[in-house]
Structure formats: structure tokens, C-alpha cells
Structure 1
Amino acid sequence: MNYDPVYAKALRLEPLSRREAETLYEKAPLGELCALAWELRQKHVPGRTVTWQIDRNVNVTNVCISGCKFCNFHCKLHETDRAYVTTIEQYAGKIEEMLALGGDQLLLQGGLHPRLDIVFYENLFRELKRRYPSVRLHALGAPEVAHIARISSLDDETTLRRLMDAGLDSLPGAGAEILDNAVRKRISPGKPDADRWIEVMHTAHRLGLPASATMMYGHVETPAQRVEHLLRIRDLQARCPEGKPGFLAFIPWIFRSTGTELEREGVVTHFSPLEYLRLVALSRIVLYNIPNIQASWLTVGKATAQIALHAGANDMGSIMIEENVVSSAGASNAFDAEGIRQAIREAGFEPRLRDQLYRFRDLR
């Protein structure tokens, strides 16, 4: 089959139809997809620079009512032997360690805690900013924002404005999983649905709050649902008001099943490096309006992430000081600052440290 007309359309940065995207994903030769993705990467991020970041992932709490079947980390409020809420002094110790390693950002996530409302998060963010004004807060996610709004009897815009006033700098793409309500009902029965994720993110876009988007694939979804996920992300980004940052990056990562409820239901990880490369390449091709594609080394490992840099990805993410959720489900990969720089060099690229806005920074 001749895919040249679709390739040419993609190179013109025109949105592909659902049929075109599905055809490329399911039938186009992987080598051709990677070559096209590389050309598109050069349009968005010319040259051979690959960015990376130093931040620390701190869980606000492990209490969550969403019931995600892929998460071993969460617990219920009544599980008093396990449940916790991170204290300010614990944050201080973790931040000091991060700063000593050259980090500049906290990735703050937790769960849908039934008692942590807008006032809790305002107080938390303000205190962290008072103590560490230079540290960026890349915090929460659309499901958490929707939950905070609900239990605080607020709308999304008011919730986000108050969080931003308290110190929220950017919004992670967490909780997207697959943007299909049937899939979400199966794997995350208590989490806000796909439409709510999109509503919150669109509000964040309107308010000028920088954000990222993610995909967790490889569980109960179909290839067509993966493509639909990309199209919904693309179309949401297209609605972002001119002059606002919207989604700065897209990060696809593989579901890890070890010890999860999904594994007990018979859904297990079947990781294929070639399938991951196909998905990364398609992400670059479909998401013509998102500048950065990240290689998720945490879930796919060093070698596959390095190859992904030749298949459309231009970023290696963070060294992720302290990561609990994916690691608790079987991900065992790790990098320090020198390790991630060396991995980028080995792949034939120049490593550059960045901040959350993809601005270059120097490691002190």
C-alpha cells in the first residue's frame, strides 16, 4: 500500500483523519513511521539536542477512593496502618535532598483523598512556596482537580485559579490513562471519566496553566482506542486559546501489572519494544500541535528509550527522585543525572538539562 499521501499530509502539519491514523498505526512499516517521526521531530525541535530534567516525585497522600486496578500504592482512609498524609517537615527534608542534587521542581501527586479539600492544598502550596520560593510546583492532575472541586463545592475554574494563586505552576497529565469511558470504567471505576479529564484540562489551557498529557497503554484497550486517545489529545490542544501554552509534552508509558488487581483479573504486561516505538512514532505524527514527545525510560528501560529518540521523541523526562506508583507495579529502571546524560550521548544526542517549560538550565 502506498502511504505517501498520508506521510505528505503529516509533513505539512495537517491533522490526520481517524482512518488515516489507524491505518498508519496498524499497517505502515515501522521503519517508515520512525523516519517520518524523525522528520517531524526536526520541524518541532531541530537538531540533536535531547532534554532531561531533575525533579522529585512526592506523594501528598496514599489515600485514594478512585479504586484504580493498576495501582498497588493506594489505600483506603480506614487503613490506618498504611494511610498517611505527608507532613511539611517531611516535604522539607525531601526538598533539601532534591536541591542538593540540582533539582528545581516537585511533582506533587497523591490520590482522591475524601478529606483533602481546596483549603488543604492552598495551605500546602503557600507554605511550600514560602519556604522554597524558587521550587516549581508541578502538581496534581485533572482527576485530582475535579475531585477537589467536587468536595469543595467549586467549579473547575475557581478551583484552578485558587490553586494557581497559592503556587501551582503547572499541571501534570496524570490520570489520562486511556480517554475512553468504557476503558476507564473497567480499570478506574471511581475516577472522573474521560470527559471530565478533558474539561479540566481545557480550563487549565484557558487560564494559561502549562500542562502535559499522558497515555498509559497495554492493558484492556484496543489499538483503535489508543488512536482515539491521541486524537482527543490533539483536538483538545487545537482548542487551546492562542498565546496560551497548553500541552507542552506528551508522554506514553506502558502499564505494569505486577501485583495489581488487573493482574489478578488476568490482565498482565506484555511489553514489546517494537510496539512502543510504533506508538511513539505515531504520537509524533498525530500530535502535530504538541512540541515535545517524551521517552518513558522508567517503564520501558534505557535501550528502548534510546531508540525512541530516533523515532520522534526529543526528551528523556526526569531522573525522578523517588517514584512510588509505577515502581510498586514492577518498574525497576533507575537513572541518576550522569546516567541519563550518558544514555543520551550513547544514543547520539546532546543532553541539555531543562525546566518544566522546556527552557535550558545549568546544573549547579
Structure 2
Amino acid sequence: MSVEPVVSSRSPFRTYDARLEPIAEKVFAGERLSFDDGLTLYGSSDVLAVGWLANHVRERMHGDVTYFNVNRHINPTNVCVAACRLCAFGRKKGDPSGYTMALEEAWETAASGYSEAVTEFHIVGGLHPDLPLEYFLDLVSGLKVRFPKVHIKAFTMVEVAFLARRAKLTIEETLLKLREAGVDSMPGGGAEIFATRVRSFICDHKIDGDEWLNTARLAHKMGFRSNATMLYGHIENNEDRVDHLLRLRNVQDETGGFQTFIPLAFHPENTPMDHLPVTTGLTDIRQIAVSRLLLDNFAHIKAYWQMLTPKIAQIALRFGADDLDGTVIEEKIYHDAGAKTPQGMTRKELCRLITEAGRVPMERDTLYHAVTRTEDSFVVAV
């Protein structure tokens, strides 16, 4: 027996899931979605209708523009005191596969790679038991001296809290020192899933969800902008996902400091949870779409091509995403977990992905100012 689609009276929206109709009415009216709405979006069998709604919001906010940047990932160490079940990157002190970059090595790494002039250094690493705060301050200040035009996005909320405890400083004091050294903004990693039930299993050595959110809150109030993430596709359920998104939304209401939300698909290979299956493309694009619909106060939703694959990232540009991240050049954390995507991508390749998806590529800096190129240099339109 065929099922006739429900057609909204206010738009060409069509769905075979009548539960989406009242959600669509809220979306068209610009009204905030609820916790129960989030559960409905995750549970609906009509993922194309969910994607249509997310794309409606995306185009209302950004039209056809899709952002990317020319960035360089630097992971100064993989030595880590934590033993997170979700991680294939970290190594215990003394492990022969562990590494810690000397400062000169880190600065040389920043300078290597493509000839294209980067606008951003993205710096995250392990929670090293011996490296003092001064190592990271010197790392950043050395980068600023050598690359004064490059924006430094460095150190997750987890790393900041860890460095503060080791240095016997407050979070505020630590953030102040990092800013004085040259940190311009902060990445969004380490959020994983905020729900205590899940977090206590997958990353019990990290700060808890409230501490992550409180660190972000303090950073924003001190003038830092940051990203936010969610790791999905492991042992969490839909309630945990909605809870995570709405807790981020609440902090954004308070501070306005989050720039971009980045859903991160869990890669189980080489982790203690390698018995779990990888996420499907359907799960990935639904996650992008639900994020766009629930996070009404976030300007940008990123389809991180390194984790999603370039092909799924292209599709995500029609499911709510307006950003593909950047050239990256060398990514260690997810490739250690078995990611099969390229280590990096050129500007030309990123533009091709975006254009073939029917979108308009726009190079940006970290703060979403437009960037124009003149050979190997760049000009930021502030």
C-alpha cells in the first residue's frame, strides 16, 4: 500500500513522516526546536525530509556559499596520561611509538607541506605527564615570531584544564598566559559526549562534560572564540546526542563564543572499541542535518572531510553543512584510528569538491573573514 506524503501548506516541504510536519512549521517560523523534536529528527525514517529542512536553514543563513581554509595541523606529542577507549592516537610514556617534538622540530613542521601560505595552525596533542606549560607557551610564541600573519588555534578545553592543574594555576590564569604567548582561538575537541554514563566509559580520564563546558564558558568570556564538537557512533544513544547539542546551545546563548560545530564520526579501528562498526553514510548525513536544525545559534556546521570522506562531505553540503574545514596537510589523530582519507588536500581540490556539489567556494580565515590570494601570500578582508 502506498503512503501519500504530507505536504506543508507553507512551503514545498514533503515528507512521509507526519511527525516531521510540526517540526517543519517551527523551522519555517524560525522557532527553536525542543529536546523531543531532536529525538524525532534522529528517529525519523525520512532522512531526506530531515535533510531538506536542514538545507533550508543552511541556505537561509549562507545561501550557496561553502567555506574552507588553508590550514596546517600540528600535533606536538602523542604521549598522554589518559587511556581513553575512543583513542588510537595516545601513547603511554615510554612506549616506543610515542613521540614528542622538540620546539625546533615543531616550528619546522609548521613550515613544511604545501607551498600555499597557510592562514591557520591547528594545534592539539596528548596530555603529556612531563611537558610544562612553558613548553607550549614557547611553542606558540615561536610560531608567532616565525609566522606573524598566521592565526593560531590551539589547545582543547581538556588540554587547558590539564595544563592548569599541572602548573597549579586557575583556568583563567592559564588562558591568559596562552593568549599572551599568541593563542588566538581554540579548537573544539575533547567534548566527545557530555552524558556522564557514556563519558565515564569512553574517556573517564578526561574532565567531565560540565568542566568542558565551564572551561569553554570562561574562554569565551575572556574573548576567545572556539569551536565545539561531538563524537558520535559509539555507545551513545539519541538522547545522549540531543542532550549534548542542547547543552552546547545553552552555553552559546550565554556567551556567543562558539564559531562552528563539528560532528565527528567515531573511527573504532585500533582503539579498545574496535569491535564496534563504523558509522554509515546515512548516520553521518543525518547527524549533520540534526546539528544544523538544533543549533540555531551556531553560525556554522562543518563537514570534516577527513573523517566523513570527501564524498560524504560533498553530500553533507546539501544536508546543512556550510564548511568543509581546510587543506589540513597532515592529520594524525584520525589516521591513527584507521581513517583512509588523504592526509591533506589542496585549495584546488577543495574548490572542486564544493563546486561539483553545486555550491560556491569561499576561502576564509579562522574567524570567517574572506581571504584573497596573491601567489603564495594572502590578504584577509576584515
**Alignment TM class, shorter chain as reference:** over 0.9
Q: Which one of the candidate residues 95, 117, 131 is aligned to 1:102?
A: 117
Structure 2 residue 102 is the aligned partner of structure 1 residue 91: no
* Distance in 2 between residues matched to 1:83 and 1:49, nearest whole Å: 41
What is the aligned partner in structure 2 of residue 58 from structure 1? 74
* Distance in 2 between residues matched to 1:223 and 1:358, nearest whole Å: 31
Question: Do the aligned residues in 2 keep the contact of 1:54 with 1:102 (CA within 8 Å)?
Answer: yes
Q: Could you tell me the TM-score, scaled by structure 2's length? A: 0.89
CA offsets per residue over residues 204-247 of structure 1, 9 Å max, x none?
1111101001111111111211111111111111111xxxx511
CA deviation after TM superposition for structure 1 residue 23, in Å: 1.4
Aligned residue runs from structure 1 range 295-334, under 5 A: 295-334=303-342
The residue matched to 2:43 in structure 1 has which SS? helix
* Distance in 2 between residues matched to 1:13 and 1:110, nearest whole Å: 39
Range moving further from structure 2, 151-160 or 109-118: 109-118
Between the aligned residues of both structures, percent identity stands at 34
The residue matched to 1:149 in structure 2 has which SS? helix
Q: Which one of the candidate residues 329, 337, 355 is aligned to 2:347?
A: 337
The residue matched to 1:143 in structure 2 has which SS? helix
Q: CA 1:285/1:2 → structure 2, altered by over 3 Å: closer, same or farther?
A: same
CA deviation after TM superposition for structure 1 residue 24, in Å: 2.1
Q: Could you tell me the TM-score, scaled by structure 1's length? A: 0.93
The one-letter code matched in structure 2 to 1:76 is K
Question: Do the aligned residues in 2 keep the contact of 1:53 with 1:319 (CA within 8 Å)?
Answer: yes
What is the aligned partner in structure 2 of residue 357 from structure 1? 367
Aligned residue runs from structure 1 range 1-364, under 5 A: 1-27=18-44, 29-45=46-62, 47-79=63-95, 81-98=96-113, 100-240=115-255, 246-263=257-274, 266=275, 268-334=276-342, 335-363=345-373, 364=375
- Larger-Rg structure: 2
CA deviation after TM superposition for structure 1 residue 7, in Å: 2.1
Q: CA RMSD in A?
A: 1.6
CA deviation after TM superposition for structure 1 residue 262, in Å: 1.3
The one-letter code matched in structure 2 to 1:261 is P
User: How many equivalent residue pairs?
Assistant: 355
CA deviation after TM superposition for structure 1 residue 269, in Å: 2.9
Question: Do the aligned residues in 2 keep the contact of 1:255 with 1:269 (CA within 8 Å)?
Answer: no
CA deviation after TM superposition for structure 1 residue 99, in Å: 6.9
CA deviation after TM superposition for structure 1 residue 90, in Å: 1.5
CA offsets per residue over residues 269-291 of structure 1, 9 Å max, x none?
33211121111111010000001
Range moving further from structure 2, 86-95 or 350-359: 86-95
* Distance in 2 between residues matched to 1:117 and 1:210, nearest whole Å: 24
Q: CA 1:158/1:358 → structure 2, altered by over 3 Å: closer, same or farther?
A: same
The one-letter code matched in structure 2 to 1:298 is Q
| Alignment gaps of 5+ in structure 2 | 1-17, 376-382
CA deviation after TM superposition for structure 1 residue 68, in Å: 1.4
Question: Do the aligned residues in 1 keep the contact of 2:76 with 2:106 (CA within 8 Å)?
Answer: no
CA offsets per residue over residues 152-197 of structure 1, 9 Å max, x none?
1111111111111110111000101111122111111211111111
* Distance in 2 between residues matched to 1:69 and 1:157, nearest whole Å: 30
CA offsets per residue over residues 250-272 of structure 1, 9 Å max, x none?
11121111121111xx3x23321
* Distance in 1 between residues matched to 2:169 and 2:114, nearest whole Å: 35
Range moving further from structure 2, 206-215 or 88-97: 88-97
The residue matched to 1:261 in structure 2 has which SS? coil
Question: Do the aligned residues in 2 keep the contact of 1:293 with 1:315 (CA within 8 Å)?
Answer: yes
* Distance in 2 between residues matched to 1:23 and 1:2, nearest whole Å: 7
| Alignment gaps of 5+ in structure 1 | none
The one-letter code matched in structure 2 to 1:73 is F
* Distance in 1 between residues matched to 2:306 and 2:213, nearest whole Å: 26
CA offsets per residue over residues 294-313 of structure 1, 9 Å max, x none?
11211121221111101110
CA offsets per residue over residues 25-59 of structure 1, 9 Å max, x none?
212621221111111112322x2111111111111
In the TM superposition, structure 1's runs of 4+ consecutive aligned residues that sit over 6 Å from their partners are none
The one-letter code matched in structure 1 to 2:230 is M
Q: CA 1:116/1:12 → structure 2, altered by over 3 Å: closer, same or farther?
A: farther
The one-letter code matched in structure 2 to 1:203 is L
* Distance in 1 between residues matched to 2:98 and 2:306, nearest whole Å: 26
Question: Do the aligned residues in 2 keep the contact of 1:260 with 1:329 (CA within 8 Å)?
Answer: yes
* Distance in 2 between residues matched to 1:285 and 1:348, nearest whole Å: 21
